[in-house]
Structure 1
């Protein structure tokens, strides 16, 4: 007698049902998707005890005719697919004809349904795959399906169910995804008699998100709308400040169907890379729309996994859509420098760019009434001696001026209280402020103990701010500017030679990690300029000795080094000669960068070129940035904060560490027992 035999129908049904129905949440998913396909505009779901004993789904869709009800519970019976070519362009959520048959095989099911053409409805009952009754009944248009005693005839499957609370949570999560997938449908979910979800069904995604996740989550969402080739991406992505500790809040919907897509997830996280901290994840509700023939949803009975004919357009559309949303949110803002109380404002000047020097006029000239600007450098006024300063000191010394307040006007730079003209270089290309000594004439006493200017690599381009000439005394005094509505930001100082302290308005204290901030700004500059890197030729080329493996791998990646500003050539005997380096890097750092780069390339041979390039930019920026523990001039800190303010998207260093933290005044007062 042969060993191979045909399975009994009931056994085959139970096996097939296990592929579709594994817990109450999967039953709800299949029934709700059928209601959506039926054109329902309102769907109500009720469960008790996690759904194991009671589940009911009610909709106002097209309903099922009396003749079709028994047929609907036969395996592979469907109204959505007829020919093989229909599988190439599936436009419905269900199409396999397995859901109702699988549910009817492992539970007690009762159906009450009516179409618009029928005068009376139909009541149909089935248990364990066996039809029990089919009779006329009165009911409104639509369908109500009641499922009781799930897995009553398969105790082996029953024991794998979790506690009622866990199963209820799984159903609730499924309902959240279904409600988000179709904001045009009003969803209502009752859990043990208590309503936990009710969406308005007004067709607005934000309304659905608000109903599902609440006000706090919705308030941190950025709109996404992007179309590329035949792929359209719409929805929302969370702001960088509202990142999550897991990917549980990432929702992707493909043609109205909730899916798990590694392609979309990778594009989302790549677009947010550098905007959120390492180990944190963006949240999103994104709708991807493309032609049905460009995707295969017939991969698994659960229909959660999909395959794209071409993944690249989907990746690019999601990436650029999310990136555009983040860039709109992080658009640079204008800033305003307050003048001391009662002082007229200086003429407005642009913020100095990286690699430029700026001359600050003495206080007396800075506040002089403006006439026609001079074309030549005016003579330097006398500088008082130390004892003279003390005799003429004001009762209360002014604090460091408030800076980078947000306003609609252009920047105003009447802020410096210096008594002598100085030359200043912003912090990005140099690590210490450069002060140019005043050249005295015969009538001008020199400033005692003037600090010499440190060497700078390379010499930046010099840009001078032309100071206005004095005006006649009859000129009316310029009234002081009105205070902007934005909160005042004041530099307090530096703590531990590492953290910049800022007072923001009257309610916040901000601490900025100067190394992390400078490192990120340098990294962004290297990324922007990699096509035409800003490099400096070395007066004396640097010879870097390397092992054979290090030498070989660096020679293979000469283009990579060139994009960062390194000009290297073979020097023989396993060494490399470096003739130019990035503008921000010193020659002393060259051997360390190249040997670290060689080690990285040897251990990451399979990484793509862009990831290798990013690592090199990280390394160069880290070495060139201001070091924690090194004291900085207040003006250097001011310039760093000013540039940081112009890049509001910069919140984390390239390694993922936060650049700043904010302490609320109330939190500090709690520590002192004031509140």
Structure 2
């Protein structure tokens, strides 16, 4: 007897739905893309409980004819592809004809729609893929789809959904990308009755960037507009000074579709080489327009991965376009000095003419009218009158009395003392440093060379050693990391998933010395940072922490805290290649011996030893 069965329609649809609908964000993506394909200029998305219990997408597009409503929920039913040849020139966001069928198979769906030519609209209800109601309804032109209780009939998938806030932030990230991909569409996002995004839809990409990422991020962008070999490139790149520690803010779009492209990413970063610090990457919002037949978007159900017929034109356009924009738009920082304060006396109303070789102010005056003037020769100040000169040497003025402070600041907390940042090693130098056995010097501004005893040399990696010292200090303090209050809070713009991750770990960040608070719309405010960071870039540190927390969701708290200590210690430690004074080197060696430092927190050796006999063997002195 045969054991192979043909699955019934309902079971097959439940299995197929998993390729398209993974989570609420998948539903929103498909529905909003359908709205854009329908010519909508305004789309409103509303969710509750992370979209798990309620999602509504409303658009002002063309709507769906009554006769097509039920058909649109059948698998592989689409108005965008009619023949095999159409697959070579896909210009719409959707084309597979699977989205509505997949969504309806795992949820309760209600649709309201009306076209311009119809007097009455249509209300259609389908539960778990089974039609329930199809009737007349009064509604505006366009389409509204309500999705309730996602995965109600597939509990195995339901249990893999994340917390409401995580699912909601995944939806926010999807809508950010759609707003950036179609600045001509006004996109509004309501999250538990609170507006989280509202793009103007004025067709200007910069307006969309401002709506998504805010003023701070937008102000540090350089415009890009370039065309090469049939590939048009436009958008924005970040200034080299605004580089980031990860690629979460690199957004690429091909023909209005968000994609992940290693070709474009490599071209972008190659163009920035020589203009950006090692270990940092640029941010961007870049659009490419190419011939539809030159790219295959039918590679994956999510349509994020694409395949190019020829990748070289893409690489060349991005590389040269970004390079050109950098050369034109990356203006050097200009040092602005404050206007000098003039001495507290009346300035001359008429110029005083001087003769070369004069020996006194009296000889220098040719013509003088009006009230007394002041005349300065080197450090001598002379009040000049029409007929009388009195030359007086300027004396150091008495310090002005300090007025009492009527509103003295509140006493800071004991663990939050505002201080001026110090050099990484200066605080470790004893007042009377004792020289170790024999400090030979420093090689490559990185390795300290010490002769120990009479038969060995010790090569110390100063960054690794200092990093370990700071790491052990942070661990010893536990959750009482000493913080310094920043004179001005630092604003940090994050990708939505990173933003959610850091908000979930505010207490953890506080244990590592960062006081962070939510500033809304993907932005956080940093009010204090670990004191040992000194003058390090606080914003960059927080970006890197957010990226780690987003990817390390399953790590236990102690592992996350340990990584934070590593990160802070690495940033605060003296850098390899930086100049250090002999006193600093001596202090570092002494601390290293006292604390028995052997490895950096990442496991690299802090020092290596070379025996005298090994050196002599290299020179052939011994065998």
TM-score band, normalised by the shorter chain? 0.5 to 0.7
2:12 is aligned with 1:4: no
Q: TM-score, normalised by structure 2?
A: 0.54
- Deviation of 1:183 (Å): 0.4
2:205 is aligned with 1:177: no
2:57 is aligned with 1:57: yes
After TM superposition, list the pairs within 5 Å mapping 1:570-581 onto structure 2: none
SS at match of 1:222: strand
Which residue of 1 is the match for residue 107 of structure 2? Answer: 107
Which residue of 2 is the match for residue 162 of structure 1? Answer: 162
Alpha-carbon spacing, 1:332–1:206, altered in 2? closer, same or farther (3 Å) = closer
- Deviation of 1:10 (Å): 1.2
CA distance in 2, matches of 1:3, 1:129: 27
CA distance in 2, matches of 1:18, 1:627: 54
CA distance in 2, matches of 1:119, 1:223: 46
- Deviation of 1:332 (Å): 7.1
CA distance in 2, matches of 1:224, 1:47: 35
After TM superposition, list the pairs within 5 Å mapping 1:487-502 onto structure 2: none
CA distance in 2, matches of 1:53, 1:286: 35
- Deviation of 1:67 (Å): 0.3
CA distance in 2, matches of 1:111, 1:250: 35
Which residue of 2 is the match for residue 305 of structure 1? Answer: 305
CA distance in 2, matches of 1:127, 1:319: 50
CA distance in 1, matches of 2:273, 2:160: 39
Q: TM-score, normalised by structure 1?
A: 0.50
Which residue of 2 is the match for residue 193 of structure 1? Answer: 193
CA distance in 1, matches of 2:33, 2:578: 58
- Deviation of 1:272 (Å): 1.3
Q: Which runs of 5+ in 1 are unaligned?
A: 337-367, 369-392, 397-494, 497-514, 517-625, 632-675
- Deviation of 1:35 (Å): 0.1
CA deviation profile, 1:34-61 (whole Å, cap 9, x unmatched): 0000000000000000000000000000
Alpha-carbon spacing, 1:137–1:320, altered in 2? closer, same or farther (3 Å) = same
SS at match of 2:275: coil
Q: Which runs of 5+ in 2 are unaligned?
A: 337-355, 357-376, 381-422, 425-443, 446-576, 583-623
CA distance in 2, matches of 1:629, 1:57: 61
CA distance in 2, matches of 1:66, 1:268: 48
Which residue of 2 is the match for residue 547 of structure 1? Answer: none
CA distance in 2, matches of 1:226, 1:3: 61
After TM superposition, list the pairs within 5 Å mapping 1:507-522 onto structure 2: none
Which residue of 2 is the match for residue 356 of structure 1? Answer: none
- Deviation of 1:329 (Å): 2.4
Alpha-carbon spacing, 1:14–1:335, altered in 2? closer, same or farther (3 Å) = closer
CA distance in 2, matches of 1:261, 1:333: 32
CA distance in 1, matches of 2:333, 2:132: 70
CA deviation profile, 1:160-201 (whole Å, cap 9, x unmatched): 000000000101111111111100010000000001111111
Alpha-carbon spacing, 1:82–1:218, altered in 2? closer, same or farther (3 Å) = same
- Deviation of 1:629 (Å): 6.9
- Deviation of 1:322 (Å): 1.0
- Deviation of 1:394 (Å): 6.5
CA distance in 2, matches of 1:335, 1:328: 20
- Deviation of 1:228 (Å): 0.4
Which residue of 2 is the match for residue 239 of structure 1? Answer: 239
Alpha-carbon spacing, 1:24–1:332, altered in 2? closer, same or farther (3 Å) = closer
After TM superposition, list the pairs within 5 Å mapping 1:513-552 onto structure 2: none
CA deviation profile, 1:88-109 (whole Å, cap 9, x unmatched): 0001000000000000000000
Which residue of 2 is the match for residue 48 of structure 1? Answer: 48
CA deviation profile, 1:51-93 (whole Å, cap 9, x unmatched): 0000000000000000000000000000000010000000100
Which residue of 1 is the match for residue 456 of structure 2? Answer: none
CA distance in 1, matches of 2:44, 2:245: 32
The ranges of structure 1 where at least 4 consecutive aligned residues each deviate by more than 2 angstroms after the TM superposition are 329-336, 393-396, 626-631
CA deviation profile, 1:100-134 (whole Å, cap 9, x unmatched): 00000000000000000000000001011111111
Which residue of 2 is the match for residue 77 of structure 1? Answer: 77
CA distance in 2, matches of 1:15, 1:335: 63
CA deviation profile, 1:216-248 (whole Å, cap 9, x unmatched): 000001000110011111000011111112111
CA distance in 2, matches of 1:82, 1:295: 19
Which residue of 2 is the match for residue 25 of structure 1? Answer: 25
CA deviation profile, 1:234-282 (whole Å, cap 9, x unmatched): 0000111111121111111110011111111111111112222222221
CA distance in 1, matches of 2:175, 2:45: 9
Q: What's the C-alpha RMSD, in Å, of the aligned pairs?
A: 3.0
After TM superposition, list the pairs within 5 Å mapping 1:138-157 onto structure 2: 138-157=138-157
2:203 is aligned with 1:211: no
Which residue of 2 is the match for residue 486 of structure 1? Answer: none
- Deviation of 1:330 (Å): 3.5
CA deviation profile, 1:505-526 (whole Å, cap 9, x unmatched): xxxxxxxxxx99xxxxxxxxxx
CA distance in 1, matches of 2:334, 2:236: 27
Which residue of 1 is the match for residue 229 of structure 2? Answer: 229
CA distance in 1, matches of 2:295, 2:164: 36
CA distance in 1, matches of 2:260, 2:46: 26
- Deviation of 1:630 (Å): 10
